[in-house]
Amino acid sequence: MRYGARVRSPPLLLTTSTVFAEASQLIKYHELNYINGSLSRTDFLSLVFYYPPLRYVNENVSEKSKILMIGSQMGYDLQRFYVADITWESTPWRRLLLKADTPDGVRDEMKAKGITHVIYSPELYVFSTNTGSLGIASADVGSGRPDYYEQWRNWTTFEEFKAKYLEPIYKDQPGRYTVFLLR
């Protein structure tokens, strides 16, 4: 190969794999049916992993409800006021734990904030405890704690709280998301 000659196979390989991935997604999610109007927006979104619990809430929960999302970060199509858990650190849950000394206090604080329901998915906690944390709160060097300690603590405190104060009202088919009513 002479100096300055271009190698064409990597760009071709990259382009081909990108086109293949996009074509696969078009077929899997019936995107062309949505684009041409033969598939409704609601039916199209129902194919997306996070939408079924949001659809349940939109169709079955009072418009005055306020939702706390824990481990569930996709609230784009939720048509209720919500507080989202937007980081690895479960910030809204940690704030509730800091404001209240007891599980009863956490429940009372949630009610005072108008929270009526919780959408919960443990997958983020499971992932972070299996792989280690990427969050800044976990950089507790020298403490002897694993790097996922904060996520583990949030997960365990929420699981305990859930058993005592939340009533499951919906669970999606794969079992990823559960919608709870605050008792």
Inter-residue contact 18 to 27 (CB < 8 Å):
no
Taking only Cα atoms into account, the Rg of the chain, rounded to an integer number of angstroms, comes to 21
Task: Please tell me the predicted confidence (pLDDT) of residue 134.
Answer: 53
Both tokens of 31, joined, read 């995107």
Both tokens of 177, joined, read 């998301």
Query: Facing residues of 82 across strands?
Result: 67
Task: Please tell me the predicted confidence (pLDDT) of residue 117.
Answer: 98
Task: Please tell me the predicted confidence (pLDDT) of residue 23.
Answer: 83
Task: Please tell me the predicted confidence (pLDDT) of residue 143.
Answer: 66
Task: Please tell me the predicted confidence (pLDDT) of residue 105.
Answer: 95
Residues with pLDDT less than 50, the chain: 138
Task: Please tell me the predicted confidence (pLDDT) of residue 9.
Answer: 62
